[in-house]
Amino acid sequence: MEQYRIEHDSMGEMRVPAQALWGAQTQRSLENFPIGTETMPDEIIRAFGILKKAAALANVELGVLDPAAGELICDACDELLAGRLEGNFPLKVWQTGSGTQSNMNVNEVIANRANQLAAERGVTLERPVHPNDHVNRSQSSNDTYPTAMHIAAVLALRERLLPAAEQLITTLEHLEVENEGVVKSGRTHLQDAVPIAFSQEIHGWLGLVDNARDGIVATCEPLYLLALGGTAVGTGLNAPDGFDVLVARKVAELTGEPFRTDPNKFHALTAKDALVMSHGAVKALAANMMKVANDVRWLASGPRLGLGEIHIPENEPGSSIMPGKVNPTQCEAVTMVAVQVMGNDVAVGMAASQGNFELNVFMPVLAYNYLQSVRLLGDAIASFDERCVCGITANRERMHHNLHNSLMLVTCLNPHIGYENAAKVAHKAYEEGKSLREATLELGLMTAEAFDEVFRPEEMV
């Protein structure tokens, strides 16, 4: 039989599981929001640990928090950041739109752990560490949750998505060099087009990832602005003078990122445009990855009845009924993730549009979707790079065959016989199953010597 202890908050007493570090407000949220299975993202909890430590350091420095209590709070935050307090953050995404209950969940866990540490160390405090009076000092959920969102977003981009994109860029750079001089048929509208070097095609993929990566980096700048210090409505009520600047500096020191206080706290509390712009850049990368993954699976289609111009790694059986079948599964994973990110972008935009007066109350759902996008896309790109792109090789024989059977090579004849005559050549060759050379000679448009002089597919790139 599960054991309980009694905790209390401003509304009265609550039974809390005996081993849990959370308190009454967390328990109320657990009981009042039995909605779905989605819990507050780990990235948000980690961000709260950073900002609570930064706030404690700032409060001590400003003389509004007992140094002994501040040290205990910081040590509890360090345990949170090290993953030693896992299992104590059970609240659902679908709670109050300000994230108040998750803010209090973190406050309660840190306060209770700080008091345990005090008992273990024999530290005597004037009064026990309190979740509101000490851990949440100089703060409000209305400025801590927006701050946690920005910290979590920047760290997720820097630690998960951008490194994956950069590794894929490196792989594509190597693949481009490996395939210099390999010429193949280009394709537009899924139809044959003029020749292109395979290295040029790869260079296009490289640009899709590289440019989108740069776009994401550019959107980090607004995310460095923190709402912390605005407290309830942006006025900074109950925060000491200088707290906002100092606490942002502490966050920057703890993360190694150039966070700073937002000079317009009224904007910081209610607007979520920085996250909208950042997620838009993430969506742009997802859209580009959709294109790259689709190109790869089209080029690898076959192995005999498709294009078959590249080989990709064979990672697992592709069918439960067709023996020997292998599918482009890494490409499929990337494209499914891209679809999810595009759907999340709608949720992010809608949530950001719902600020009323001095606060936006759609923050947990915005944070959940933003962070899921970054997490999924980063993981998908890393897997795609390692398990697919690193193993791409050109089927040079198939590329050569397709190139020399493409009717669109006729384009090189335009300057010599004109567009309309070149079209006649292409139609005749296609309808009669002849080569372009045969069709051109039969139509009397060029001599054999003249045709051979200008018809050099490998030089058309």
The pair of structure tokens assigned to 370 is 């933003």
Assess contact for 197 and 255: CB atoms under 8 A. no
Residue 114's φ and ψ, nearest 5 degrees, are -60, -40
CA 104 to chain centre: 27
Q: Return the bridge partners of 185, or none.
A: 195
As a three-state string, the secondary structure of 335-396 is HHHHHHHHHHHHHHHHHHCCEECCEECCHHHHHHHHHHHHHHHHHHHHHHHHHCHHHCEECH
Q: Give the Cα separation of 376 and 370 in Å (integer).
A: 10
Assess contact for 138 and 59: CB atoms under 8 A. yes
Assess contact for 187 and 195: CB atoms under 8 A. no
Beta strands 183-188; 12-17: pairing state = unpaired
Q: What percent of the chain is helix, strand and coil (3-state, nearest 5)?
A: 60, 10, 30
Assess contact for 176 and 442: CB atoms under 8 A. no
In the annotation, is 189 catalytic?
A: yes
Catalytic member of 8, 319, 353, 427: 319
Catalytic member of 189, 199, 301, 400: 189
In the annotation, is 174 catalytic?
A: no
By annotation, the residues acting in catalysis are: 189, 319
